[in-house]
Amino acid sequence: MLVHEQLGIYQARHPLPFKLNHVNCYAVKGQDGWYLVDSGLSNEAGRGSWQKFFAEHSIQSQDIRGIYLTHFHPDHYGASGWLQEQSGAPVYIGGIDAERVERYWKHGDWILQAMQEMFTANGMPLEVTLPVIEAMSRLLPFTRPHSEVQTLQPGDSVRLGDYSYKVILTPGHTDGHICYYNEEFQVLLSGDHLLPGISSNISLWPDPGADRNPLDNFLTALRSIEGLPCELVLPAHGRPFTTMAERIGQLLEHHRERLALVKESTGQGATAYQVCLQIFPQELSMHELRFAMAETLAHLMYLVYRGEMKLSQSGGVDMYSLV
């Protein structure tokens, strides 16, 4: 689907085997070939969806000039290696998330154990934790074959099609999430930083190298682009939208409300798992529960860093309480 004629941007919507059942990747047509933004999962459905898109637009593998990723999550990084094998095109990602690719996907078994230990330490029963981690482990094959990535830095200028885009660091959803912004037409390829219908998942990771306050990073990043002139946002999930400033205001208010609910749910003492069950009372898949638990931890840690909550231990389990 053509979403911006002057810039030559097409949306390539690929299926995901989750409740959030799609990811929007983008293909930008230039005089010398095509440039891809994000890659979907490396599974049969994802690869088949690309092959269908290429056939519809008469794209040969050698026509692909570059593959640009917004972040390291499997539905964005996953098929980049397969696309690189097909085309020989370079793959680009922000420097911070390039390191995450190496640690999480290319040497990924340790992150499963670390996630299990973090969830157990925060009150999740083992009979729940084990299937949650098993669901996470099933994602690892969707990142293979791995791509060889080149790194981008904030402020870099990259060429997508026939136009220049600025690399903007927008941490929170991942520590190294980046967006691509075309100043001439005021178009933002927002990845998972700005979504029209849902809030980006903001997760605390057990990696010692990961930022311990990702929610603060996310809120700061939202405010940092609030005044950016923007006529069109092209998100990774949901439909393109034109109301960026309004959407940022909605997201800031959402997290204000969520933090108030976290404080109410914690009271004088609760584990992160107990708080998670109150914030997310609906039935969740094991995949969704991992996101819910990690997001609850991100909100709790935000309040700890603000001095509004304290973290202690009881019987080897982390406990949170209001100050």
pLDDT per position as a tens digit, 206-233:
998 999 999 999 999 999 999 999 999 9
Q: How far is CA 6 from the centre of its chain?
A: 28
The pLDDT of residue 238 is 97
**Mean pLDDT, rounded, of the chain:** 97
What pLDDT sits at residue 152? 98
151 in Cβ contact with 94 (< 8 Å): yes
pLDDT confidence of 109, banded at 50, 70, 90? confident
Question: Over 90: is that where the pLDDT of 250 sits?
Answer: yes
Tell me the whole-structure pTM to 2 decimals. 0.97
Which tokens in the block code for residue 305?
Answer: 């860093």
Q: How many helices (H) and strands (E) does the chain have?
A: 10, 14
* pLDDT band per the 50, 70, 90 thresholds, residue 95: very high
Q: Assign 264 to helix, strand or coil.
A: helix
Q: Where are the domains of the chain?
A: 2-264
Q: What is the pLDDT of residue 107?
A: 87
More confident residue, 315 or 150: 150
Task: Please give the CATH number for the structural domain made up of 2-264.
Answer: 3.60.15.10
Question: Is the pLDDT confidence value at 161 over 80?
Answer: yes
The phi and psi torsions of 17 (rounded to 5 degrees) equal -85, 45
What number is the average pLDDT over the span 125-135? 97
